């Protein structure tokens, strides 16, 4: 597959604040890429730079073999063969759905017959039959969303950019639309660059996920790899590994397979998947991350576990969320079929491939 979009060392600053700290990435033709990251990490800024709505301070944006953006020169969005669907859809309120959708073709001075042909195609793709004469205010959120996508698709752009396209829809519709959109874009072989703060949206839509953290990229991988092999503590936390122990210590002399390391935690030690730098020194402080649903409480010690005391059990329907405290007075959660009493003692067991070890960041 050909590379359609390439960013080299893209940097952006607002005042003294660095928003993008040197972004490098490549997108292949027909791929759906989701940029995932917490609010404020620079996702929209990145998208706007790719669209040419914002200028970059340094670096380059390439579409196929043409440089479209650098400090010296920048092409407008129409000249880049890109279209964008905005977070709030940005439909023109004074135009009927039909005119909103046709706008891009009118700007290009497309012939009437061809316009009608393309309109028919996108109407059928997005199930907009019967809605063309309505104004945006007469359409539901989901219908406005479809109109916005039709408007973006009608000019057959090389790349479609989507900025949090589902966040204005209610939960049920969001779940339906994300799979529907992924199917539509895959069937059209459209290249999509999509940004979201919602991991489940990225999982449902993306061929590859780019996880952003404070203006930098932490990981670029297939969704499943980001999930089972999160390269940084931030990625793990974002993807559900909310349990975070800060008092781990690296045991350098312990024999273990390359992918794993032995971590001392209080009076016990356990094997964890290692995301440590090769040159990490003995006795370094480590952070351990794992998911509440991927650990379990037991009364007896049976390996790869740490001693804990129960703090609280809360009913979640079908199961209890149990908060426990470790010897080092750190709290973690697990899920349990039965209620556990406060003060009960036992162990939290975590399979070695479900607990991730990272070098602890200097604070
Ligand atoms: P995201 O889309 O990931 O939520 P944004 O790219 O919108 O993040 O914003 C990243 C950071 O840049 C935020 O701290 C935001 O306040 C700041 N920012 C965005 N646009 C501007 C602007 N035009 N002027 C100054 N600061 C901005
Ligand atoms: Mg944003």
**Tens-place pLDDT, residues 299-329:** 999 999 999 999 999 999 999 999 999 999 9
- Which of 12, 13, 18, 19 for mutating ligand 1's site (highest number of atoms within 8 Å of CB)? 19
What is this structure's pTM?
0.92
Helices (H) and strands (E) in the chain, counts: 8, 20
Is there an atom of ligand 1 within 6 Å of 42 CB?
Answer: yes
Determine the distance separating the centroid of ligand 1 and the alpha carbon of 21, expressed in angstroms: 13
Angle at the Cα of 116 (from 110 to 122), degrees rounded to 5? Answer: 105
Stretch 131-136: mean pLDDT, rounded? 93
Dump pLDDT digits (tens) for 216-271.
999 999 999 999 999 999 999 999 999 999 999 998 766 677 799 999 999 999 99
The stretch 133-149 carries a mean pLDDT of 91
Per residue in 97-130, pLDDT tens? Answer: 999 999 988 888 889 999 999 999 889 888 899 9
Q: What is the token pair recorded at 94?
A: 């004074």
Name the more confident of 279 and 40. 40
Q: What is the pLDDT of residue 253?
A: 67
Decide the pairing of beta strands 345-350 and 191-196: unpaired
- Asked whether the predicted pLDDT for residue 136 surpasses 80, the reply is yes
CB of 41 sitting under 6 A from ligand 1: yes
Write the residue with the smallest CA distance to atom 6 of ligand 1. Answer: 42
Q: Quick one: tokens of 145?
A: 């969303």
- Separation of 192 CA from ligand 2 center, angstroms? 16
46 alpha carbon, closest ligand: 1
- Residue 43 CB less than 6 A away from ligand 1: yes
Return the pLDDT at 77: 83
Quick one: CA dihedral 282, 283, 289, 294, positive or negative?
A: positive
CA distance 121 to 153: 10
> CA 74 to CA 323: how far, in whole Å?
54
Q: How far is the CA of 29 from the centre of ligand 2 (A)?
A: 24
> Which residue in this structure is represented by tokens 């404020």?
40
Dihedral of the alpha carbons of 183, 189, 192, 196, in degrees to the nearest 10: 20
Mean pLDDT of the chain: 92
Confidence at residue 125, expressed as pLDDT on a 0 to 100 scale: 86
Distance from C-alpha of 333 to C-alpha of 313, rounded to nearest angstrom: 9
**Ligand 2 centroid vs 18 CA: distance in angstroms?**
16
| Dist. CA 86 → ligand 2 center (Å) | 10
pLDDT of residue 180: 87
40 CB less than 6 Å from ligand 1?
yes
> What ligand is nearest to the CA atom of residue 87?
2
* pLDDT for the residue numbered 362: 65
- The whole-angstrom separation of Cα 19 and Cα 215 is 5
pLDDT of residue 172: 86
Of the residues 15, 43, 45, 201, which should be mutated to test ligand 1's pocket, given the most ligand atoms within 8 Å of the CB?
Answer: 45
Average pLDDT over residues 337-361: 95
In residues, how long is the chain?
363
Mutate to test the pocket of ligand 1, among 10, 11, 12, 14 (most ligand atoms within 8 A of CB): 14
Find the 84 Cα to ligand 2 centroid distance in Å.
13
For 142, the token pair is 């989901």
Q: How many A from CA of 50 to the centre of ligand 2?
A: 14
Of 65, 62, 91, give the one whose Cα is nearest residue 75. Answer: 62
Is 12 near ligand 1, meaning CB less than 6 Å away? no
Q: Is the pLDDT of residue 162 over 80?
A: yes
Nearest ligand to the CA of 13 is 1
Cα separations in angstroms, 20 against 44, 52, 191: 11, 15, 23
Which residues have a Cβ under 8 Å from the Cβ of 184 and sit 6 or more positions away? 125, 126, 149
Distance of CA 127 to the CA centre of its chain: 28
């Amino acid at each position: 597959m050909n590379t359609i979009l390439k960013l080299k060392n893209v940097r952006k600053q607002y005042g003294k604040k660095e928003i993008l700290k040197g972004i490098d990435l490549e997108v292949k033709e027909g791929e759906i890429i989701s940029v995932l990251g917490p609010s404020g990490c620079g996702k929209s800024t990145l998208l706007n730079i790719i669209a040419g709505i914002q200028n970059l301070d340094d670096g380059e944006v390439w579409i196929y073999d043409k440089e479209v953006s650098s400090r010296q020169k920048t092409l407008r969005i129409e000249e880049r063969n890109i279209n964008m669907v905005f977070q709030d859809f940005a439909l023109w309120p004074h135009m009927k759905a039909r005119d909103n959708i046709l706008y891009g073709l009118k700007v290009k001075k497309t012939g009437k017959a061809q316009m009608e042909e393309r309109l028919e195609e996108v109407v059928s793709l997005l199930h907009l039959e019967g809605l063309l004469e309505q104004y945006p205010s007469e359409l539901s959120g989901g219908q406005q969303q479809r109109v916005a996508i039709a408007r973006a698709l009608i000019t057959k752009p090389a790349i479609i950019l989507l900025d949090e396209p589902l966040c204005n829809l209610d939960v049920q519709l969001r779940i339906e639309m994300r799979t529907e959109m992924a199917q539509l874009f895959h069937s059209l072989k459209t290249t999509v660059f999509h940004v979201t703060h919602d991991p489940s949206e990225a999982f449902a839509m993306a061929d590859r996920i780019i996880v952003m953290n404070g203006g930098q990229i932490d990981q670029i991988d297939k969704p499943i790899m980001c999930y089972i092999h999160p390269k940084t503590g931030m990625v793990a936390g974002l993807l559900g590994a909310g349990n975070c122990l800060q008092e781990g210590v690296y045991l350098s002399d312990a024999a273990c397979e390359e992918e794993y390391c032995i971590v001392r935690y209080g009076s016990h030690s356990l094997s964890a998947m290692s995301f440590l730098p090769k040159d990490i020194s003995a006795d370094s402080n480590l952070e351990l991350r794992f998911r509440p649903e991927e650990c379990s409480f037991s009364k007896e010690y049976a390996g790869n576990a740490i001693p804990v005391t129960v703090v609280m059990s809360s009913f979640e329907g079908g199961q209890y969320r149990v908060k426990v405290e470790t010897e080092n007075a750190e709290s973690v959660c697990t899920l349990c079929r039965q209620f556990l009493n406060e003060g009960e003692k036992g162990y939290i067991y975590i399979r070695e491939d479900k607990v991730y070890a990272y070098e602890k960041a200097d604070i």
